[in-house]
Structure 1
Amino acid sequence: MALHTERLDLPSGLDRAEIRRFVINVFLDELPGDINESQRYEYIVEECENRDIIIARQTQLNKGMDFRIQFRDIYFQGRTRRTRSPSHQHIVEDLTEKKNYDEAAYALLAEKITSIYNCENDSQITEDLRSLDLPVGYLLPEEICLTLKWLFIEQDITYWGYSGRAKLYNYLVSCELL
């Protein structure tokens, strides 16, 4: 198995359709596997203050353009084993813990999640989140917000003809987290 590690930097100012197209075009440049060797890709997509966020391809579910969001140094409890990829439920639990810890600080985090959902420029969002004191849960505010950014992108790629990112966003709303 060949493992390729690359940076994937999204240009700023893209709307959700342009983001989807950009990411898929990066994937289209991947080398094909063959009978003797499979090709795996890890893209460093965010450099947070304490750790990087990575998207990994190919996935277990084998959905073509699908990917997993993961961390090198955090493990989340899965159904049967630990995983480096946070699930939607891990995100909900983390956000709930942050909201219960400090609702005022959490309000700013929720505002930033909505900004990311709306594809607003995240450079200022990241700076604002680095100073936010919510020291509970799996991830720091910056990490959870940027993880959601890539979960929204993954949902747009996988379910574009349906609700895309809106399904996850509305799930967070139904959990009273936004």
Structure 2
Amino acid sequence: MGSHEVYYTLPAGDRVIKRKALISKMLEEECGTGTGDNCSRYTYFVESYKEYGIYLKRPTQLNKGFDFTVNVSGMWFKKNRRYSNPSHQDIFDVLIECKSKYPEEYDAVKSIIAKIYRCEDIDLTTPLGIFFHDFEGIERPIEIILLSVKWLFMEQDCAYWNYSGRKMLYSGLLEQGLV
């Protein structure tokens, strides 16, 4: 058993192709034989941006089969207890701050989120120059949130495919006026 590290890149394609590829990769996981040390644990390193990284952790506390948490290395979320996995509300809060601070530049953020939602490849090699402050007041680049959104969409496609999948988060972004 034990912990396993996997480096993974989503293939190009629509959400069906991406979901099948990710779930197929997860189907290769070693089965566990119990809890604690008898549980097989996986960390999937899926993105990097400067000193930050996005990684997926399985299994989750919620125990929902193909569910996973989306985590960011290099920063923390929450105010009362530090977590590396941003919630939807954390994402909303960051985007609301950026929309307020950078009203003219925010259209680029909206465009990138829409591309991610449509499963288009995005290029973040040229920084947008848009920053937010984490709960400790440290300035962070918006790109790390955009990459988190990409994987939160994937998480919803895996966990809620038979419902609306990624549309659940996207609808929340729409309701907040963030896309």
Same fold, TM-score > 0.5, yes or no = yes
1:136 and 2:132 correspond: yes
Contact 1:41–1:58 (8 Å) recurs in 2: yes
**Which residue number corresponds to residue 25 of structure 1?**
24
C-alpha separation in 1, matches of 2:131 and 2:166: 27
Tell me the percent identity. 37
Give the equivalent residue in structure 2 for 1:58.
59
- Secondary structure (helix, strand or coil) at the match of 1:46 reads strand
Tell me how far apart the structure 1 counterparts of residues 11 and 158 of structure 2 sit (CA, whole Å): 17
1:73 aligns with 2:66: no
Helix, strand or coil for the counterpart of 1:76? coil
In the alignment, what sits opposite 1:170?
A: 171
Counterpart amino acid of residue 111 in structure 2: E
Please give the TM-score of this superposition, normalised by the length of structure 1: 0.91
> 2:99 is matched with which residue?
99
- Aligned residue for 1:160, secondary structure, equals coil
Q: Which runs of 5+ in 2 are unaligned?
A: 135-139
Contact in 1 for aligned 2:70/2:152 (Cα 8 Å)? yes
Alpha-carbon separation, structure 2, partners of 1:76 and 1:143: 12
Q: Which has the higher helix share?
A: 1
User: Aligned residue pairs: how many?
Assistant: 172
Measure, in 1, the Cα distance between the counterparts of 2:45 and 2:54: 6
- 1:98–1:137 CA contact under 8 A, matched in 2: no
TM-score using structure 2 length: 0.91
3-state SS in 1 of match to 2:19: helix
Deviation at 1:81?
Answer: 2.4
Contact 1:65–1:157 (8 Å) recurs in 2: yes
C-alpha displacement at 1:48, in angstroms?
1.1
The alignment yields a C-alpha RMSD, in angstroms, of: 1.5
Flag structure 1 segments of 5+ consecutive residues without an equivalent: none
Q: 1:9 is aligned with what amino acid? A: T
Q: String of CA shifts for 1:51-79, please: whole Å, max 9, x gaps.
A: 1100110000000100000123322116x
